[in-house]
Amino acid sequence: MDKFTGAAEWVPHDGGLKKLTAALPECRGCDLYQYAERVVPGEGPARARMMLIGEQPGDVEDKEGHVFVGPAGRLLDKALAEVGIDRSDVFLTNAVKHFRFERQGKRRIHKTPGAGHIGACHPWLDRELEIVRPSIVVVLGAVAARAVFGTGFKVTEQRGLPQVLRDGTAAIATVHPSSVVRSREYRRDFDLFVHDLRAALAQLT
Q: For each of the chain's 205 residues, which pLDDT tens digit applies?
A: 467 999 999 999 999 999 999 999 999 999 999 999 999 999 999 999 999 999 999 999 999 999 999 999 999 999 999 999 999 999 999 999 999 999 999 899 999 999 999 999 999 999 999 999 999 999 999 999 999 999 999 999 999 999 999 999 999 999 999 999 999 999 999 999 999 999 999 998 7
**What is the C-alpha separation between 28 and 11, in angstroms, rounded?**
11
- In terms of Cα–Cα distance, which of 160, 164, 158 is closest to 202? 160
pTM of the model: 0.96
- In terms of Cα–Cα distance, which of 93, 96, 103 is closest to 53? 93
Q: Please say whether the beta carbons of 73 and 31 come within 8 A.
A: no
Q: Please say whether the beta carbons of 179 and 189 come within 8 A.
A: yes
Give the per-residue pLDDT at 205.
76
Residue ranges in 24-114 assigned as alpha helix (H): 59-64, 71-83
Give the per-residue pLDDT at 148.
97
Q: Please say whether the beta carbons of 16 and 10 come within 8 A.
A: no
What domains are defined for the chain? Answer: 8-204 (3.40.470.10)
Give the per-residue pLDDT at 98.
98
Give the per-residue pLDDT at 140.
98
Q: Say how many C-beta atoms besides its own lie within 10 A of residue 107's C-beta.
A: 9
The values of phi and psi at residue 174, to 5°, are -145, -175
Give the per-residue pLDDT at 99.
97
Enclosing H/E stretch for 107 = strand 107-110
